[in-house]
Amino acid sequence: MTAVLDHLPVLPIIVPLLAGALMMLLRESRRVLRNSIAIGSLTLQLAVALTLLYQTTDAAAHIWPEGIGVYAIGSWAAPFGIVLVVDRLSALMLSLTSIVALAALIYSIAHWDRPGQPFHSLFQLLVMGQNGAFLTGDLFNLFVFVEVLLAASYGLVLRGLGTARVRTGLHYIAVNLAASFLFLIGVALIYGTVGTLNMADLFGRVAVLPPNDRALFDAGAWILGIAFLVKAGSWPLNSWLPGAYSISVAPVAAGFAIMTKVGVYAVLRLGTLMSQDEAAATILGEILYYTGLVTLVSGMIGMLATQHLRRLVAYSVIVSSGLLLASLGLGIEAVTPPVLFYLTTSVLTTAAFFLLTGMTDRTRLSMPPAAEPDSQGDVLPLYMAFGVTSPDPYGTEEEVGAAIPAAMAFLGLMFVCCVLLVAGLPPLPGFVAKFTLLSVILETAPVVGARNAGWVLAVAVLATGIVSVVALTRIGMRLFWSTAERRTPRLHVVEAAPVAFLVVVCLGIAAASGPMMRFFEGTARSLHDPQAYIQTVLGTRVAAEPDGDSR
């Protein structure tokens, strides 16, 4: 039994890899088998992620004393071998990934996974990349897993083809490839100066770098940071995001909900590891704060400007990224628990909302396949080469499973729940997250200094609520109250259930706010005391040298 438990951290990577590979071998007609493998794999991952989450809490301190588990791949010890590290933050992100992926996958079974074999395989690989990125304790492996998830996402963005999708997909791939090169250059610079890629080992060695190398190392860290900010959807590097999210089909967009959070996770992880150096931490904080604030404002403008629901949700992803980055940029430790709370709810919310848009799209009589319906014109039917018979195979409704009664009422209820979640109104956890965030910001605002950073951010947080309500109400009224262009769609249980499931999870989080908050406080504590992380990963305590002489 303990042997199995020892190998738990590697399962979130191995299980989707094997499941994805296995499904490539199955013929198109084996739908039931393929669906069962996909659901089975994600259910197993959810169970593993929740077990890991439990193991990192204080309740299970006998398993991992510091709440941090290290899995050395091939039993090679830490600075030389590649390690997977499970701490509370990783376990939290893993659980979120599995919950969102499971909901999106079940939703996709309705009719979104047809046609085309690779959907399920690609989806499993997307999940594998996300899991790996959250687990790895090694910078280069972080790059590899990010590439895995991006490669899968390139394929998923193009689902359904059509000129608009392929064009946006091309932009998306080009931007992310360029970002990947920046990532590599940053990693190479860091390796070239410090001589290690292990995040824990890095920490001890940076402090004793000679000044010459220190400048190079800083350059590498900044380049790496730019790559992370592209992934996180931070202004001005986020022009790819609204297009890519609004153009992809609903379950894929929901699966992407956690993708920008990979960037935020990396900033959080490396930022706390690097912040031992006072001067660097201040600069990092200021840059994060200002880019976050601009991101937030640009996202709000986008929300107000757009007329299309899915595009609006994509802009709300940008707003949440901006909010997270700006709050982290304040450089107060107390802000981390509410930030984590907000991250959790915002991932679940956006996933639910993206799934919902797939259904509300069908209430319109004329169905635009994408945000900007391009004229198909006299084009070459190249999509035939992909085994697709029409440019938008999702335009047709196919009968799968039982339909649910009162479809419009259900859609309306779910829409209202999602609006409350995005805007942060009670009784849903969006409110709790924003409220705790605001209270921390306001408490510490006088302390943070003459920059008035806290006050500005507090105003911005409140503004996001108002802007979300205004923008979403406007679209909601057109969607549900204007009688002119509407019809009641047939909703299937497999489509409706995942959305309801995500909303119920959110409700559960709201109900359990106290215990959740305590967990997030524990997470923040372990993040801001990296010694435990380093000690556990390297097996020895690294003495933190005073860095006064090294700069």
Partner 1 sequence: MEAVYALAIGVLVAAGVWLLLRPRTFQVIMGLSLLSYATNLFIFGMGRLEIQRPPILVSAEIDPVLYADPVPQALVLTAIVIGFATTALFLVVLLALRGLAGTDHVDAREPEQ
Minimum CB distance to partner 1, residue 121 (Å): 15
In the bound state with partner 1, the residue whose beta carbon lies nearer, of 145 and 245, is 145
Q: For residue 349, with 0-12 CB atoms within 10 Å meaning exposed, 13-18 middle and 19 or more buried, which class applies?
A: buried
Q: Considering the complex, state which of residue 382 and residue 409 has its C-beta at the smaller distance from partner 1.
A: 382
Nearer to partner 1, 87 or 392 (CB): 392
Residue 117 CB, nearest approach to partner 1 (Å):
16
Nearer to partner 1, 384 or 413 (CB): 384
Which is nearest to 534 in space by CA: 299, 317, 316, 274?
274
First to last CA, the chain: 50
Give whichever of 118 and 465 is closer to partner 1, judged by the CB atom. Answer: 118
The C-alpha atoms of residue 41 and residue 324 are separated, in whole angstroms, by 31
CA–CA separation, 443 and 334 (whole Å): 10
Between 391 and 489, name the residue whose CB sits nearer to partner 1.
Answer: 391
Q: What is the nearest approach in angstroms of partner 1 to the Cβ of residue 143?
A: 8
Stretch (H or E) spanning 194:
helix 163-194
- In the complex, the smallest distance separating the C-beta of residue 489 from partner 1, rounded to whole angstroms, is 28
- Tokens 């997030």 locate to 520
CB contact at 8 A, 57 and 522: yes
Tell me whether residue 192 or residue 427 sits nearer to partner 1 (CB atom): 192
Indicate the residue type of 120.
H
Region at 482 (left for phi over 0; alpha for psi -120 to 50; beta for the rest): beta
What 3-state DSSP class applies to 296?
A: helix
Which lies closer to partner 1 via its Cβ, residue 170 or residue 215? Answer: 170
Closest CA to 304 of 325, 324, 319: 319
∠ CA(93), CA(511), CA(40), 5° rounding?
Answer: 45
Min CB(227)–partner 1 separation in Å: 12
Compute the Cα dihedral for 416, 422, 425, 428 and give only its sign. positive
What is the sign, positive or negative, of the torsion defined by CA atoms of 221, 223, 228, 229?
positive
Least separation in angstroms between residue 230's CB and partner 1 is 14
Q: Give whichever of 374 and 521 is closer to partner 1, judged by the CB atom.
A: 374
- Is the separation of the CB atoms in 84 and 136 below 8 Å? yes
Cβ at position 124, least distance to partner 1 in Å: 17
CB 379 to partner 1: min, Å: 5
Q: Which residue has the tokens 């047939």?
A: 490
Amino acid at 1: M
Smaller CB separation from partner 1, 89 or 182: 182
Q: What is the 3-state secondary structure (H, E, C) of 405-418?
A: CCHHHHHHHHHHHH
Return all residues near 78 (Cβ < 8 A) that are at least 6 apart: 70, 72, 137, 198, 200, 201, 537, 538, 539
| In the complex, least distance from residue 131 CB atom to partner 1, rounded to whole angstroms | 18
Closest contact distance (angstroms) between CB of 170 and partner 1 is: 5
Radius of gyration of the chain from its Cα atoms, rounded to whole angstroms: 23
Which pair of tokens denotes residue 300? 């709000």
Chain residues binding partner 1 by CB under 8 A are 140, 144, 147, 150-151, 154-155, 158, 161-164, 166-167, 169-171, 173-174, 177-178, 180-181, 184-185, 187-189, 191-192, 197, 374, 377-380, 382-383, 385-386, 391
User: Which is closer to partner 1, CB of 82 or CB of 352?
Assistant: 82
Q: Distance between CA atoms of 272 and 529, rounded to whole angstroms?
A: 8
Minimal distance, residue 79 CB to partner 1, in Å: 11
The one-letter code for the residue type at 515 is P
